[in-house]
Amino acid sequence: MPGRSEASLCYRFVARTKQTPNSISTFEQDFDRLAALVDKLEQGNVPLGEMLALYEEAATLSTRLKTTLDEAELKVEKLAAIHEESVMPSTVDADLEENDLPDSEDLF
């Protein structure tokens, strides 16, 4: 049976990870929290019950951050593809522009 401090820690973890519309964290906040968790876990002076709760929170944050980054990467790829399509002239336009250029002899 978990001790009183472990139960309290679990309660705090669940309360902190529950998101309400007004408390949705940003990517940067999640990243900072994950970095703090990693620092605390790397210190090694954390009781086992707390360490497990911190590790669980870190894993949840890591998954959320990876999902956010994957979604951002996909969005950037889509935007880049749209940009490339709008910048690339059609071959018909390229042929017209090439034929409209003066011959090199006419330039000198």
Domain residues of the chain, as ranges? Answer: 26-99
Confidence of residue 83 (pLDDT cuts 50, 70, 90): confident
State pLDDT tens for residues 25-69.
899 999 999 999 999 999 989 999 999 999 999 999 999 999 999
For the full predicted model, state whether its pTM sits above 0.85: no
DSSP code for 51: H
Place of tokens 């944050």: 61
Planar angle of CA 43, 49, 51, nearest 5 degrees: 30
